[in-house]
């Protein structure tokens, strides 16, 4: 999670991926991603950059992004950010899209721009049989970059989506509805006592002579 607009390749480079090293004889000891500007024009200076990885927890990402978009969190005096960018590559693409769709339900009225591209990843593999024998492999993997913005975006931009209107209530509306129903609902214990007294009045216990 960063506030910097970097780490994604804006160009599309089609390259054949080299064969993976055999897992039984080699193990990966290092991995680095290409650093390049984000392929989305007109980003705000304070854009929030959320890097989604394969092992990232969706609830942690959304908790942080939602708090920053709403101006909440540890630094409550900080102004809420108006733009957030989610980036993911490889197996993290599906998780990236999931984060975006959930955030759009949490924060209404977000404009969206989606870009597909490729990233270059360098992996360092170590031989399990020979000491100090390492191999560096360069792979080109697909990546996705999605911008969510409170401010209007250029509708002519490739990959633009206007704010969506969801048929069901948003999370904030559901929470407000639950509070209203709870406030207008009588106390359950009081209700149970009243019903018991009513039953006793209507159906008094019978007395038997011995």
pLDDT digits (tens, 9 = 90+) for 13-62: 444 445 555 555 777 666 777 777 788 988 888 899 999 988 899 999 99
Write phi, then psi, for 89 (nearest 5 degrees): -135, 155
Contacts of range 132-139, beta carbons closer than 8 Å, 24 or more positions apart: 134/29, 135/21, 135/26, 137/18, 137/21, 138/18, 139/17, 139/18
Exposed, middle or buried: residue 161 (CB in 10 Å: 0-12, 13-18, 19+)?
middle
pLDDT at 1: 54
Exposed, middle or buried: residue 9 (CB in 10 Å: 0-12, 13-18, 19+)?
buried
pLDDT in tens, 132-175: 678 888 888 899 999 999 999 999 999 999 998 766 555 555 65
CA distance 48 to 70: 12
Q: Which domains does the chain have, with CATH numbers?
A: 45-119+143-164 (3.30.110.20)
pLDDT in tens, 163-204: 987 665 555 556 566 656 555 555 545 554 554 445 545 555
How much is the pTM?
Answer: 0.64
114: pLDDT strictly greater than 90: yes
Query: In the chain, what percentage of residues exceed pLDDT 90?
Result: 35
Write phi, then psi, for 177 (nearest 5 degrees): -65, -40
The whole-angstrom distance between residue 119's C-alpha and the CA centroid of its chain comes to 21
């Amino acid at each position: 999670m960063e506030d910097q607009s970097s780490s994604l390749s804006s160009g599309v480079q089609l390259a054949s991926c080299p064969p993976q090293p055999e897992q039984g004889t080699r193990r990966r000891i290092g991995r680095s991603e290409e650093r390049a500007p984000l392929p989305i024009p007109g980003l705000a200076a304070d854009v929030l950059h959320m890097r989604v990885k394969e092992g990232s927890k969706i609830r942690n990402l959304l908790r942080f992004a939602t708090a920053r978009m709403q101006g909440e969190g540890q630094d409550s005096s900080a102004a809420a950010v108006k733009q957030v960018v989610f980036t993911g590559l490889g197996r993290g693409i599906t998780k990236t899209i999931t984060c975006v769709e959930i955030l759009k339900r949490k924060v209404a009225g977000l404009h969206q721009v989606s870009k597909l591209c490729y990233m270059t990843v360098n992996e360092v593999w170590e031989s399990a049989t020979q000491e100090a024998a390492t191999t560096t492999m360069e792979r080109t993997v697909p990546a996705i970059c999605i911008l969510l913005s409170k401010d209007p975006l250029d509708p002519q931009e490739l990959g633009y989506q206007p704010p969506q209107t969801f048929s069901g209530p948003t999370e904030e509306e559901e929470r407000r509805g639950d509070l209203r129903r709870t406030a207008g609902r009588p106390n359950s214990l009081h209700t149970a006592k009243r019903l018991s007294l009513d039953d006793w009045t209507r159906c008094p216990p019978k007395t038997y002579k011995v």
